[in-house]
Structure 1
Amino acid sequence: MSPLPSSTASVQIQQFYDKGLAHASYAIRSGRHMAIIDPARDPQPYYDFADEHEATIEAVIETHPHADFVSSHLEIAQETGATIYCSRLVKAGYPHQPFDDGNRIELGSVELHALNTPGHSPDSICVLLIDELAQVRAVFTGDTLFVGDVGRPDLREGENVGGHSREALAAQLYHSTRQKLMTLPATTRVYPAHGPGSLCGKTTSPDLDSTIGKELKTNYALQPMREDEFIRVLLEDQPFMPKYFGYDVMLNKQGALPFEDSVRRVPRLQTDALLEPGVVVLDTRPAEQFRQGHLPGAINLMDGGKFETWLGSIVGPEEPFYLLADSQIALDTVIRKAAKIGYEGNIKGALLTPSHLPATSPTVEVEQVRQNPQQFTIVDIRNRAEAKQPIFDNALLIPLPELRERAHEVPRDKPVLVHCAGGYRSAAGASILEAALPGVPVYDLGDAITSFQTQAVH
């Protein structure tokens, strides 16, 4: 966490970056006046920053109701007395001030101006930072404009989130970028809500900030093209949508419960507690430990860099589950990660690894796979865009987010081999199929897959 290029004596911009969700939030401080844009679920870092600078949080701005994480806007407002600002189009269920074209917030010696920029969502705004000389210094672009990309327009098609067609939102995004953002001074700093790996875009750059001038030169979506061409280019090869996205949109429209209180309410169970049959168990230990012993039917969703995303892709937002880890610290970590996507209320119980782990998983002989891949039913659980580069001939493609629902499609006449791109997802995939295909040997190729990717295996 370090000050960003727009920081001067009159204003400081601080970026807070959550790598797990590729989410960037911001504090803007002018003297002792502070505003927060798109805060993460845990508000403590913003309180600490305000305390460090003896500043008061006066405003919390939501650029739109986020799909991929739960925001702490309501909790911060309740704790500090700050005003929440968002577009009137959000139809927010929490106390707020409308923040749309023409609206502005005075913050010490600077001003924050709203720009309506529909496209990623119909209610998206960007926030301009205007300095004391009335110059545009920065734009906080939410999910409208990323470094090297723009926000995807296909997350609001479900009836529960408005029923907006992706083509209509893509057309709005074409006009928002060209009429609102591309006309800003080239020197304007660009601060988006997401970085590389976010599922809210598709080709996001590793850089976490930029300028309008740089984006005009390098961002594919800002190059000269007709509206229909923009829509076509934007809609092709968008990544999958996790199960939890629509749920988080609705939760953010209402405002979530306080973070620490919610985490504390998660039931902590004794190690050998009797678990309710039929409730999914998520075992977050490393794959090697899981193979050596686990509870029958458990899913091996290892704690890792993208735990939250895969949790919300495998488990539905209304589905209860147990969380299992091998230490109290590890258990607390995955509970807090679950809370970042609003899943803490789904946790039926959290417990340390039981002493009795009757199920085991077989270990794959990599050389056998290399020599005789035809002896296996190979299930590729990568996303469709990844799978355009096949690794094995005749592999059955079922992306991990669909695997629990489509496990019945996997033939049972041969041992099953599961692979992804790097080894993390295949541990979850193999455990899902192991539970769904009793009596069929299911192997996880794990990180050995990387040695197969230099050439396709026939």
Structure 2
Amino acid sequence: MKVEQIYTGCLAHAAYYVESNGEAAVFDPLREVEPYLERAKKDNAKIKYVFETHFHADFVSGHLDLKKKAGAEIVFGPLAKPAYEATVAEDGQIFKVGNYKVKVIHTPGHTMESTTYLLIDEKGKEHGIITGDTLFIGDVGRPDLAQHVISELTEEKLAAHLYDSLRNKIMPLSDDIIVYPNHGAGSACGKKMSKETSDTLGHQKKTNYALRADMTKEEFIKELLTGLTAPPGYFPQNVLMNIKGYESLDTIMERGQQPLSPDAFEAASNETHALMIDTRKAQDFSKGFIPNSINIGLEGNFAQWVGEMIPDVKQHILLITYPGKEEEAITRLSRVGYDNTIGYLEGGFESWKKANKEIDSIDRITASDLEQIQKGKKHLIFDVRKKSEFDSEHAVDAVNVPLNEINQHLAQFPKEGSFVLHCEGGYRSMIAASILKQRGWDNFVDVIEGFNAIKETDIPRSEFVEPTSML
């Protein structure tokens, strides 16, 4: 039996390809399905099933395109109600793929339809569990997402279900079983996920806080719900897309891969009011960009930050990328449901410059520059890292406005005087800088390499204390 984890770092997402004796199954695939089709072709295997552990919130699954292109049967666990043809399995139902078996274990809690799939090898040995968002390495799935789609499913009710699922369905399994989760560290679907992407169940029983043997249900619920931050706004929209269906990725790629000259790009922006996303690196964007464009760099957690910062997945988008990066940008947007890219700037930003179009820029300084500035008239410093990062260590008197909350707190940024922006390394602060520029601020500078560089100076810092915050 071949079990292959296909990990995509920018979404901290793991899909699984399992093959035996010429038949294959794919679990929780991403939107672009060609990698799975190529793996099956290489093995001379037919993809028989697409197993979905639940209706995902943080990405749009590729199950519908796999059904269309490979003839695969879509399988959900109990209680799922997809709006398209699919098999809704019963708890305990067995599916055969080649010489191995996949057993359905209904594990409600993250969502009510959440299901774990037990892999049983050719010799009848229980090999591993594909857990979706029920059990991560070091964590379990957050139980507060389904209520954003079905209001009566409170986080307390779901947490109670998850406690029962873990104790009654997962923990009784053999310690040597391998846990194959849907996400790793960096995903917003949990709060304490490990960087490891698989482990034995026995080790998780010893190290995962949520699997403590002596934990009561009340203790579990309290500990699980403590410290949860608000989920990204696009999550409920992705859930509905996964339930109701969506356009084929082929259609989305054809629509988005429309090269536009600078004049055509400018006209499209004016006529459609599309959001212009510039996916270049922060240092290149800062030196020159199209006025009113937003920088979300393709080299970082691009899709996640698009999802955090753009409320409506139906938003029309125009792209500015490095030449040759257009297809990658459209694909990564589609992974989180942003399917309405309507074109890109042909030739990239250089073509805009050559056309003598209007250009804006953002001033940047080094941490050493900031150190010298602060010796004179001190400037207000805005730190756009997460609150947990800020609380751990920050520049004295800095104000914490997490990037994903910036649109709700624009009034905190002064229109008079000067201020300074920074994050950890410069990626997030350039997103913030481009948003502020778009909204009319021009009285700030961004710190190159952010807090990583600030820590190398003598700028006073506070550690593990309550933050100074204006929020």
In structure 1, distance between residues paired with 2:366 and 2:202:
53
Kindly tell me: are residues 388 and 78 of structure 1, through their superposed partners in 2, closer, same or farther at Cα, counting changes over 3 Å?
Answer: same
In structure 2, distance between residues paired with 1:367 and 1:324:
32
Unmatched segments (≥5 aa) in structure 1: 1-10
In structure 2, distance between residues paired with 1:87 and 1:225:
27
In structure 2, distance between residues paired with 1:227 and 1:339:
39
Does residue 32 of the first structure (1) align with residue 22 of the second (2)? Answer: yes
In structure 1, distance between residues paired with 2:42 and 2:188:
33
What are the residue-to-residue correspondences of 1:270-285 with 2, within 5 Å?
Answer: 270-273=261-264, 274=266, 275-277=268-270, 278-285=273-280
Q: Could you say which residue in structure 2 is the equivalent of 1:62? A: 52
Whether the aligned pair in 2 keeps the contact of 1:239 and 1:383 (CA below 8 Å) is no
Q: How many residues align?
A: 444
Whether the aligned pair in 2 keeps the contact of 1:126 and 1:140 (CA below 8 Å) is yes
Shift of 1:336: 1.3
Q: Could you say which residue in structure 1 is the equivalent of 2:452? A: 450
Whether the aligned pair in 2 keeps the contact of 1:72 and 1:255 (CA below 8 Å) is no
Give the residue type in structure 2 aligned to 1:172: H
Shift of 1:299: 1.3
Give the residue type in structure 1 aligned to 2:370: V
Kindly tell me: are residues 350 and 123 of structure 1, through their superposed partners in 2, closer, same or farther at Cα, counting changes over 3 Å?
Answer: same
SS of residue in 1 equivalent to 2:449: helix
SS of residue in 2 equivalent to 1:90: coil
Kindly tell me: are residues 369 and 117 of structure 1, through their superposed partners in 2, closer, same or farther at Cα, counting changes over 3 Å?
Answer: same
Shift of 1:210: 1.0
Shift of 1:66: 0.8
Q: Could you say which residue in structure 1 is the equivalent of 2:343? A: 349
Q: Could you say which residue in structure 2 is the equivalent of 1:339? A: 334
Q: Could you say which residue in structure 2 is the equivalent of 1:177? A: 166
Which one is further off, 376-385 or 52-61? 376-385
Which one is further off, 38-47 or 287-296? 287-296
SS of residue in 2 equivalent to 1:265: helix
Shift of 1:156: 1.9
Give the residue type in structure 2 aligned to 1:412: K
Q: Could you say which residue in structure 2 is the equivalent of 1:313? A: 308
Which one is further off, 68-77 or 264-273? 264-273
Q: Could you say which residue in structure 1 is the equivalent of 2:467? A: none
TM-score, with structure 2 as normaliser: 0.89
In structure 2, distance between residues paired with 1:56 and 1:89:
28
In structure 2, distance between residues paired with 1:414 and 1:163:
48
In structure 2, distance between residues paired with 1:321 and 1:52:
36
Write the deviation string for residues 252-290 of structure 1: whole angstroms up to 9, x where unpaired: 112332223321111432233224345432111122222
SS of residue in 2 equivalent to 1:149: coil
Kindly tell me: are residues 109 and 358 of structure 1, through their superposed partners in 2, closer, same or farther at Cα, counting changes over 3 Å?
Answer: closer
Shift of 1:23: 0.7
Shift of 1:24: 0.7
Q: Could you say which residue in structure 1 is the equivalent of 2:416? A: 413
Does residue 394 of the first structure (1) align with residue 397 of the second (2)? Answer: yes
Write the deviation string for residues 289-322 of structure 1: whole angstroms up to 9, x where unpaired: 2222112222121112310100111112232232
In structure 2, distance between residues paired with 1:418 and 1:241:
24
Does residue 45 of the first structure (1) align with residue 48 of the second (2)? Answer: no
Whether the aligned pair in 2 keeps the contact of 1:19 and 1:305 (CA below 8 Å) is no
Kindly tell me: are residues 256 and 407 of structure 1, through their superposed partners in 2, closer, same or farther at Cα, counting changes over 3 Å?
Answer: same
What are the residue-to-residue correspondences of 1:53-92 with 2, within 5 Å?
Answer: 53-92=43-82
In structure 2, distance between residues paired with 1:48 and 1:449:
42
Kindly tell me: are residues 255 and 350 of structure 1, through their superposed partners in 2, closer, same or farther at Cα, counting changes over 3 Å?
Answer: same
TM-score, with structure 1 as normaliser: 0.91
Shift of 1:193: 0.8
What are the residue-to-residue correspondences of 1:39-438 with 2, within 5 Å?
Answer: 39-158=29-148, 160-223=149-212, 224-266=214-256, 267-273=258-264, 274=266, 275-277=268-270, 278-316=273-311, 317-327=313-323, 329-345=324-340, 347-351=341-345, 352-353=348-349, 354-355=352-353, 356-364=357-365, 366-373=367-374, 375-438=378-441
Kindly tell me: are residues 325 and 193 of structure 1, through their superposed partners in 2, closer, same or farther at Cα, counting changes over 3 Å?
Answer: same
In structure 1, distance between residues paired with 2:144 and 2:394:
29
Write the deviation string for residues 34-89 of structure 1: whole angstroms up to 9, x where unpaired: 11111111111111111111111111110001111111111111222211110242
Shift of 1:451: 2.8
Which one is further off, 29-38 or 272-281? 272-281
Q: Report the aligned-residue RMSD.
A: 2.0
Shift of 1:405: 3.4
Kindly tell me: are residues 184 and 456 of structure 1, through their superposed partners in 2, closer, same or farther at Cα, counting changes over 3 Å?
Answer: farther
In structure 1, distance between residues paired with 2:371 and 2:143:
41
In structure 2, distance between residues paired with 1:88 and 1:188:
23
